A and B are shown apart, each in its own frame.
Chain A
Amino acid sequence: MSRIRIDLEKCQGYGNCVMAAPEVFDISDHGKVVVLDENAVDDATLRLAIRECPAHALELLE
């Protein structure tokens, strides 16, 4: 079960999440976020990447 909740409507494809954690996130050809591997970085980096979304489209479920 993924710990990352994505609101695809809010997602604008800015890509801040990818810039912060390219091992975890990418932007698809549709211009929306996709999760590659949510365990690829430590928690602090993951939290940061999620917070950096200007559209607040990502949330870490804890």
Chain B
Amino acid sequence: MTRGAGSPVVVVGASLAGIRVVQSLRDHGYAGPIVLVGAESELPYDRPPLSKALMRSDAGPEYLVREDALAKLDIDLLLGVRATGLDLALKQVALDNGGRITYSSLVIATGSVPCSIPEWGSPPGVHYLRTFEDCVDLRGELTPGARLVIIGAGFIGAEIASTARGLGVEVTVLDNTRAPLTRAIGPFFAETTEAIHRDAGVDLYNEVSVAGIEGEDRVRGVRLVDGRFMPADAVLVCIGARPAVDWLHGSGLSLDDGVVCDADLSAAPDVYAIGDVCNYPNSLLGERMRVEHWSNAGEQATYVAKSIASGATGGGFGSLPFVWSEQFGYKIEVVGRPRHSDTVRLIEGSLQERRFLAVYERDGREVGAIAFNAASSMFRLRRRLLAELTAAHSLEGTGKK
């Protein structure tokens, strides 16, 4: 008898990826036991609203599954429980409540955690944004006239800046790159992203470095390396996220920018990783990557669920990463994995009107796209790009990692 046979499928991480793999397992006919372990005490909820609608209301989380549907899934749900270790030989997950669970298959879906710089200091009034609790803490500070300093002008920073300005908060944004969103979309759109911040009344500082966050009983403000001081009633640190894999150190799994997986999203026999933690070879884009976007969680969850339910693999996971953002009245969508060295070609609209569709080209091929308030056009392009990349991949043959 194979070790672990008859044991449950154990899913560690009860957010989007975790709940989707559970739903997919049932949809694909897996009728055996499932244990879903989540560190947060909330039922699985959606994170994108945390920086948008939930940041400007008193509402509770937007749950991903209704309670009646959750009950039908027939899962053993362990909330407020953290996984602390993994024993591959025994096929056991150790929990912070002292328990150990033996698995037949393990799906690691622990997501990511916000990056922090401990050297900066962390007096009360410094916030991060990942969980619903974080959202509640931060939104309590967003009162008219309050001074919020946001460190990091990526998607989270920009969305909070936008939401906070809408609430009458005085917003300062500090970033060490050329312009907001540069890391994700490249420098071509710098003037546009800067302009939409400044037009909304954000005090924006690009290409600055933070030396520290000052204050003892309460945050007073942020000190830059160049000596300038930005007074603050509250500070949000949103400088990126790192995969939540600390609990896997020493397990024997390869950890390098996430859990290193093969084309079937497997890290070891009967062990899979999905979502923000998963570092895998994307067959469509021909490069290894870790994708922190919402859509990726569900797509990878389905792929792995099918593998577990059917016992057969699907020929390698590949997808065209997709991310959207709502900020300052604009809907921004990015497809693919743009590099700053890519050539940008505008194909519809213009930067001036702040309504456009542009493609990223690399080695003579379209590899991605970006849209500002051009959802219909983006959708058509995305469909075409996916078809082209799929066809190109098929021509190159299977067996390519």
Judge if B229 is at the interface, Cβ distance under 8 Å.
no
The answer to whether B379 touches A51, judged by C-beta atoms less than 8 angstroms apart, is: no
Q: Which residues of A contact B209 (CB under 8 A)?
A: none
Judge if B147 is at the interface, Cβ distance under 8 Å.
no
CA distance A27 to B46 in the complex (A): 24
The answer to whether A16 touches B375, judged by C-beta atoms less than 8 angstroms apart, is: no
- Size category of the B interface is 20 to 34
- Size category of the A interface is 10 to 19
Q: Which residue of A lies closest to B29 (CB)?
A: A44
Mark contacts of B294-321 with chain A using CB atoms, 8 A cut-off: 1 yes-contact digit, 0 otherwise: 1100110010000000000000000000
Known A14-B324, A27-B376: A44·B298 in contact at CB below 8 Å: no
Mark contacts of A4-41 with chain B using CB atoms, 8 A cut-off: 1 yes-contact digit, 0 otherwise: 00000000111110110010000101010000000000
Q: Which residues of A contact B295 (CB under 8 A)?
A: 16, 52, 54
Mark contacts of B280-296 with chain A using CB atoms, 8 A cut-off: 1 yes-contact digit, 0 otherwise: 00000000000000110
Q: How far is the CB of A14 from chain B (nearest CB, A)?
A: 6
The answer to whether A48 touches B383, judged by C-beta atoms less than 8 angstroms apart, is: no
Since A14-B375, A14-B379, A16-B322 are in contact, a sample of 20 more A-B pairs with Cβ atoms closer than 8 Å, ordered by chain A residue number, is A12-B324, A12-B331, A12-B375, A14-B324, A15-B379, A15-B383, A16-B295, A18-B379, A18-B383, A27-B376, A31-B375, A31-B376, A48-B298, A48-B302, A51-B20, A51-B23, A51-B298, A52-B299, A54-B324, A56-B46
A contacts, CB < 8 Å to B: 12-16, 18-19, 22, 27, 29, 31, 43-44, 47-48, 51-52, 54, 56
- Between-chain CB contacts (< 8 Å), 27 pairs: A12-B375, A13-B376, A13-B379, A14-B324, A14-B333, A14-B375, A14-B379, A15-B379, A18-B379, A19-B386, A22-B383, A29-B376, A31-B375, A43-B27, A44-B24, A47-B23, A47-B27, A48-B24, A48-B27, A48-B302, A52-B295, A52-B298, A52-B299, A54-B48, A54-B295, A56-B46, A56-B62
